[in-house]
Amino acid sequence: MIQVTSAFDGGAITVQDASRADDIRLALRADVSADFSQWFYFRLAGVRDTELTVHLLNARASTYPGGWPGYRMVASHDQQHWFRVDTAFDGTRLSARHRSVADLIWFAYFEPYSQQRHAVLLAQAQLRPGTRVRTLGLSCKGRPIDVVETGVLDPAAPQVWVICRQHPGETMAEWFAEGLLDRLGDVADPVVTQLLRAARFHIVPNMNPDGSAMGNLRTNARGVDLNRAWVNASADASPEVFHVREAMLAHAPSIFLDVHGDEALPYVFVAGSEDQPHYTAAHRARDLRFKQLLTALSPDFQTVHGYPSGRFRPEMLAMASHWVADRFQCLSFTLEMPFKDNANLPDAAGGWNGARSRRLGAATVGAIHGSLLGQDS
Ligand code: ZN
């Protein structure tokens, strides 16, 4: 008898029929208060030495059906090591096959980032020299929205803002935050030493703790997509954005990164504000320099594939990177990592994963250093 459960941190699935191991019929569950679906995270029990076939029957009706071709589910027996499993999309349903070697196996859309790991991340950061953790406000459900601050206190110094996981199902964004914070804690790294003497960092590892706990793909507990709430952020319906925005107005960013995952594109890329009316040649040169630096520092980053530029529409200002670019005229990017893999540097066993997201976060410290302090030779 196989038991399918998802009543845990970040869990999400609907069970239709789990009576046969070779035909486990499941369905994606929508966000708790909104009609988005793509994220899944569930546990199977009673599956030792069992050939499993798991179907997500409603995959085609998900928010990003383009996310399924070429995608492989991740699974884990130990909650530490996550591996990819054979997965096929027939245009309607997503099906994965795997032989379970143990009693329990977890499946997820991407390597999860737990509330417990989030707590440890903050706990370790606060103990580093010159590093503070501050609660900017509370989420709809009363979870803290925490920012990690480190670097020089001079208010005239450049302020670097990095926010992660506005979309809670994009867990790679918090893995990225972990890599960024770990590198900033490395006192033997001269890039870090010089950067922290010249600039101050404000890092929000998880903008959407309610959505993360509830297993949502895109929204908070009130069903609000936070990355569409930056113009009309409200203390009531989108307090997560409201409080971070207030803090940002008090410490105006020189560099802003909003870290995400993209369901369909198998590449790491950034999306900027080049469509905005104010965008100048100087902005273009500044943005190009950042992209060149990150390209040199991480072979996982590239600038060939990404979102197409288009005509600016005022409603785009509801997105964080556009709102920040418009308000502060600073370097402002949405950074996207894949749910699938980096097609330029594929990893058959793991695809894109938490460890690679962490390395990218660490490499980004170098690009920020070069942007703020680098000399053209
Ligand atoms: Zn996103």
**Catalytic residue among 174, 178, 240, 336, which?**
336
Answer with the one of 108, 135, 153 that is the final residue of a domain: 108
Q: Which of 351, 323, 117 is nearest to 230 (CA)?
A: 323
**Cα 52 to ligand 1 centre (Å):** 31
To the query of whether residue 170 is one of the catalytic residues in this protein, the response is: no
**Number of structural domains found in the chain:** 2
How remote is the CA of residue 126 from the centroid of ligand 1, in Å? 27
Tell me which of 108, 142, 176 is where a domain ends: 108
- The Cα-based distances of 368 to 10, 92, 185, 199, 247 in angstroms read 32, 43, 15, 10, 21
Ligand 1 midpoint to CA 43 (Å): 25
How confident is the model at residue 374, as a pLDDT? Answer: 80
**CA gyration radius, the chain:** 21
Q: Are residues 20 and 82 in the same domain?
A: yes
129 and 9 within one domain: no
- 292 has a pLDDT exceeding 50: yes
Q: Are residues 216 and 340 in the same domain?
A: yes
Residue 67 to residues 62, 170, 321: CA-CA distances in angstroms? 9, 13, 23
Ligand 1 centroid–CA 261 distance in Å is 5
pLDDT tens, position by position, 336-361: 999 999 999 999 999 999 999 999 99
In DSSP notation, 300-345 reads TB-SSSSPPP----GGGGGSHHHHHHHHH-SEEEEEEEESS--TTS
Contact in structure between 281 and 295 (CB atoms under 8 Å): no
Where would I find the H helices in the chain? 115-126, 172-184, 190-198, 209-214, 239-250, 281-297, 320-328, 354-373
CATH code (residue 218) = 3.40.630.10
Q: What pTM value is reported for the model? A: 0.98
Q: Please give the distance, rounded to the nearest whole angstrom, from the Cα atom of residue 336 to the centre of ligand 1.
A: 8
Percent of the chain with pLDDT over 90: 98
Q: Give the burial class of 123: count Cβ atoms within 10 A of its Cβ; 0-12 exposed, 13-18 middle, 19 or more buried.
A: exposed
Q: What is the mean pLDDT of residues 318-328?
A: 98
Q: Running DSSP on this structure, what letter comes out for residue 361?
A: H
Q: Are 245 and 230 in contact (CB under 8 A)?
A: yes
What does the pLDDT read at residue 172?
Answer: 99
Which of 85, 108, 131 lies at the terminal end of a domain, its last residue?
Answer: 108
CATH of the domain at 9: 2.60.40.3120
* 236 and 256 fall within a common domain: yes
pLDDT in tens, 10-65: 999 999 999 999 999 999 999 999 999 999 999 999 999 999 999 999 999 999 99
Helix (H, G, I), strand (E, B) or coil at 27: strand
pLDDT at 377 over 70: no
For 32, the domain range is 3-108
* pLDDT for 376: 54
Question: What pLDDT, in 10s, does the model give residues 150-209?
Answer: 999 999 999 999 999 999 999 999 999 999 999 999 999 999 999 999 999 999 999 999
- Ligand 1 center to residue 274 CA distance, Å? 19
